[in-house]
Structure 1
Amino acid sequence: MCQNHGVVYMGPGEVQVQEIDYPKLALGDRKCEHGVILKIVSTNICGSDQHMVRGRTTASAGLVLGHEITGQVVEVGRDVEFIKVGDIVSVPFNIACGRCRNCKEGKTGICLNVNPSRPGAAYGYVDMGGWVGGQAEYVMVPYADFNLLKFPDNDQALAYIKDLTMLSDIFPTGFHGAVSAGVGPGSVVYVAGAGPVGLACAASCHLLGAAVVIVGDLNEERLEQARSFGCETVNLNTDVELADQIAAIVGVPEVDCFVDCVGFEARAHSHGGSSEEQPAVVLNQAMEITRAGGAIGIPGLYVTEDPGAVDGAAKQGNLKIRFGLGWAKSHCFHTGQCPVMKYHRQLMNAILYDKIKIADAVNVQVISLNDAPQGYADFDKGAARKYVIDPHGMIRA
């Protein structure tokens, strides 16, 4: 009888739940004494996963997906000192050694030792080190003492699990986007994209004290979700210019802070009534509507290779942006993966002390592991939900 099943990328547009190997405390041929094996409590479907499943990356068939992991420790390596069997923990999607220069500087999203191809690694993701993903029943996590966030109490963790499962990625990522855009008390903020990261960012802006949070998207269902927790919204599926819609809300056609939660598959509304892919449209909107001296946070994913891009330049990650405008307005741009460990403990406390209801903001829907392929399909159609996989029935129980 198989002890482990996982969600496997089969090729563009297809994922399957298959039998996969039970994880070992091993890195290739050598023992991984600094690692642990987790029984998955929850594992989430991410918009970044969708880029691979749509065929918009160079991911190969057979990849076990999943980088948003919360689990219970069932086995520990000999060198693990502070994490114990039975602990419930959040796993940052960034895999980090804790020893290299970047890790010691807190830049855990670009660890130098966990990916032979380039700085930075993640579970179940293309070009990110070949680590097995966590949309499964069990997974191995290396450098456990450094990487894992232990929850203070297991019963409390399970009571808050729909919120705490967001700590592995989208809550810190959205928060990071807001922080890097300079959001603070009284800020007027525009968040591009009302997917789960955009909604998490909008909720984070409120947590940081923003006066007005405006969310823009082409999907009215997702905009309704943003309005459900106090955001202003603009529907980009209209001929009215974004700057004019901003002015209608705050009186001027600009904002203090801009956060791009869309990334390289961005679409712009065309006057013919449909949307067409324009991978640089959000970046150019950011420079247009951010005030002089403002900041632009870019947690939305941009890739170095996109086989499905609209032109040859974009296939190599070369986008046509009006950078001169951003220079003239003295904009600050901040890109790259969120260093989850920079934020996850503080955000855990915000959840446990009822300062934020992040699961409500992103509209969590719990599904079984076997329902994951349907979750991918529904998410790809624009469902205003965050799909949380419950492989062992622990959340429902």
Structure 2
Amino acid sequence: MPGNKAVAYIEPHRVEVQTIDYPKLELQDGPGVNPANVGRQCHHGVILRCVATNICGSDQHMVRGRTTAPAGLVLGHEITGEVVEVGRDVEFIKQGDLCSVPFNIACGRCRNCKEGRTDVCLNVNPDRPGSAYGYVDMGGWVGGQAEYVMVPYADWNLLPFPDKDQAMEKILDLTMLSDIFPTGYHGCVSAGVTTGSQVYIAGAGPVGLAAAHSAQLLGASVVIVGDMNAQRLDQARSFGCETVDLTKDASLGEQIEQILGVPEVDAAVDAVGFEARGHGDQAGQEKPATVLNSIMQVTRAAGKLGIPGLYVTGDPGGVDAAAQEGSLSIRIGLGWAKSHTFTTGQCPVMRYHRGLMKAILQERCTIAKAVNATVIGLDDAPRGYQDFDSGVSKKFVLDPHNNLADKRAIAA
């Protein structure tokens, strides 16, 4: 039986590459596993040899100590891999298939799954609706920043690529299908982005850049990205976005007006989440509701807001007691007065990933270039987390089995 190296959260600002057990088609006890899930049989699952597995901004929230994640939790919910073992009850996924794994774990049987809401499956997480690999309070499914990982309900969850050779040529694009590309796209669809839309994207991290590229794919006429990180704003401009520098004294509305001639947009996307910081005279101060309030201010009446940025129910590092339980000072009256539509929550990846896969394979989009996909080895994950936390404009792709060696020079 091969070994299984994996990236584990140890304590705030520290991750470690450890050797863990090779996965079984049964959920084992371990850090973060709900007792009701221990021993859960997964004959409907498969074992994947991870080909590419990415570091996500959502992982960083845990690594910064901003959640209740337990020590030893194996991280990683952005997984692409090759099937090496097939469970007894799997009918259609075959050994050797190269597949994208939606970060949502879904049973395919419950009411929500049947209605397309795989983001809030009712059967995989005893704590609450919805689950994900390697994430706090998500049922304890082992993460995929590892050499091997178990994927349950494989016939339902996995998206097999039609041609493995073609897929490996575009693997840096296709690895984004597990999360950030559908998530950014979902933020834009939720915000009503369509042909001719003028769009504001709050945040130029990987999800924000994915949302900006998605807005272009959906036909937006102008995509404006706001951030306080000059390197990330440069990255947004590299594929045709307008930008606003939130370190400047001019307000967001004033900077948008300089671009569009009016201080408002048709649609806005929050790709920042609960660790948002103030700008202008509040620069550097944590203001967890600032992005939500600012996008209400700059979105036209009857406009829509997509909110794929993460908000949590438990934040030990919150600025006050209310923020520590996810209660924020949102100007709901402003949103009500402007008749805004809000969409929150995890992206239901399966709603979008097949179509986005086709767009990648037919060269209609270049998501890896937009987010600056950068390949590193699994052993380099601790450095990748540190660099990502420092604000570099890179999307780190881990290469557990050295399958992507030819991509490293391209990505460097």
TM range (shorter): over 0.9
Question: Residue 385 of structure 2 aligns with which residue?
Answer: 376
CA contact (8 A) 2:250 2:280 kept: no
Question: Residue 75 of structure 1 aligns with which residue?
Answer: 85
Question: Residue 84 of structure 1 aligns with which residue?
Answer: 94
What SS class does the counterpart of residue 306 from structure 2 fall into? strand
Question: Residue 349 of structure 1 aligns with which residue?
Answer: 358
The counterpart of 2:271, out of the listed 233, 255, 261, is 261
Question: Residue 249 of structure 1 aligns with which residue?
Answer: 259
What is the CA–CA distance in structure 2 between the aligned matches of 1:323 and 1:130, rounded to whole Å? 34
User: What whole-Å deviation, never above 9, does each CA across 1:238-263 have from its counterpart, x for those lacking one?
Assistant: 11110000000000000000000000
Q: Which amino acid aligns with 2:371?
A: V
CA contact (8 A) 1:193 1:261 kept: yes
User: What whole-Å deviation, never above 9, does each CA across 1:101-126 have from its counterpart, x for those lacking one?
Assistant: 00000000000000000000000000
Q: Which amino acid aligns with 2:342?
A: F
2:211 maps to 1:174: no
Question: Residue 227 of structure 2 aligns with which residue?
Answer: 217
User: What whole-Å deviation, never above 9, does each CA across 1:362-392 have from its counterpart, x for those lacking one?
Assistant: 0000000000000000000001000000000
Q: Which amino acid aligns with 1:334?
A: T
Alpha-carbon distance, 1:30 to partner: 5.1
2:4 maps to 1:4: yes
The counterpart of 1:205, out of the listed 204, 215, 218, is 215
CA contact (8 A) 1:270 1:276 kept: no
Question: Residue 399 of structure 2 aligns with which residue?
Answer: 390
Question: Residue 129 of structure 1 aligns with which residue?
Answer: 139
Question: Residue 18 of structure 1 aligns with which residue?
Answer: 18
CA contact (8 A) 1:2 1:19 kept: no
User: What whole-Å deviation, never above 9, does each CA across 1:299-351 have from its counterpart, x for those lacking one?
Assistant: 00000010001111100100001110100000000000000000000000000
What SS class does the counterpart of residue 271 from structure 1 fall into? helix
The counterpart of 2:293, out of the listed 274, 284, 287, is 284
Question: Alpha carbons of 1:30 and 1:218: their partners in 2 closer, same or farther (altered >3 Å)?
Answer: closer
Long gaps (5+) in structure 1: none
The counterpart of 2:109, out of the listed 99, 105, 109, is 99
The counterpart of 1:328, out of the listed 333, 337, 343, is 337
TM-score normalized with structure 1 length: 0.99
Question: Alpha carbons of 1:30 and 1:131: their partners in 2 closer, same or farther (altered >3 Å)?
Answer: closer
What is the CA–CA distance in structure 1 between the aligned matches of 2:219 and 2:186, rounded to whole Å? 15
What is the CA–CA distance in structure 1 between the aligned matches of 2:375 and 2:294, rounded to whole Å? 35
CA contact (8 A) 1:123 1:133 kept: yes
What SS class does the counterpart of residue 88 from structure 2 fall into? coil
Alpha-carbon distance, 1:291 to partner: 0.2
Question: Alpha carbons of 1:85 and 1:228: their partners in 2 closer, same or farther (altered >3 Å)?
Answer: same
Q: Which amino acid aligns with 1:219?
A: N
What SS class does the counterpart of residue 187 from structure 2 fall into? helix
What is the CA–CA distance in structure 1 between the aligned matches of 2:117 and 2:241, rounded to whole Å? 31
User: What whole-Å deviation, never above 9, does each CA across 1:65-114 have from its counterpart, x for those lacking one?
Assistant: 00000000000011101100000000000000000000000000000000
2:139 maps to 1:139: no
Long gaps (5+) in structure 2: 28-37, 407-412
Alpha-carbon distance, 1:395 to partner: 1.4
What is the CA–CA distance in structure 2 between the aligned matches of 1:137 and 1:291, rounded to whole Å? 47
Question: Residue 39 of structure 2 aligns with which residue?
Answer: 29
What is the CA–CA distance in structure 2 between the aligned matches of 1:354 and 1:396, rounded to whole Å? 22
CA contact (8 A) 2:206 2:395 kept: yes
What is the CA–CA distance in structure 2 between the aligned matches of 1:182 and 1:241, rounded to whole Å? 24
What SS class does the counterpart of residue 361 from structure 1 fall into? helix
CA contact (8 A) 2:270 2:291 kept: yes
Alpha-carbon distance, 1:2 to partner: 6.1
Q: Which amino acid aligns with 2:161?
A: F
User: What whole-Å deviation, never above 9, does each CA across 1:210-242 have from its counterpart, x for those lacking one?
Assistant: 000000000010000000000000000111110
CA contact (8 A) 2:246 2:280 kept: no
User: What whole-Å deviation, never above 9, does each CA across 1:9-33 have from its counterpart, x for those lacking one?
Assistant: 0010100000111000113435421
The counterpart of 1:108, out of the listed 107, 111, 118, is 118
What SS class does the counterpart of residue 281 from structure 2 fall into? coil
Identity in percent: 71
Question: Residue 323 of structure 2 aligns with which residue?
Answer: 314
What is the CA–CA distance in structure 2 between the aligned matches of 1:31 and 1:338, rounded to whole Å? 27
User: What whole-Å deviation, never above 9, does each CA across 1:130-175 have from its counterpart, x for those lacking one?
Assistant: 1100000000000000000000011011000000000000000000
Question: Residue 35 of structure 2 aligns with which residue?
Answer: none
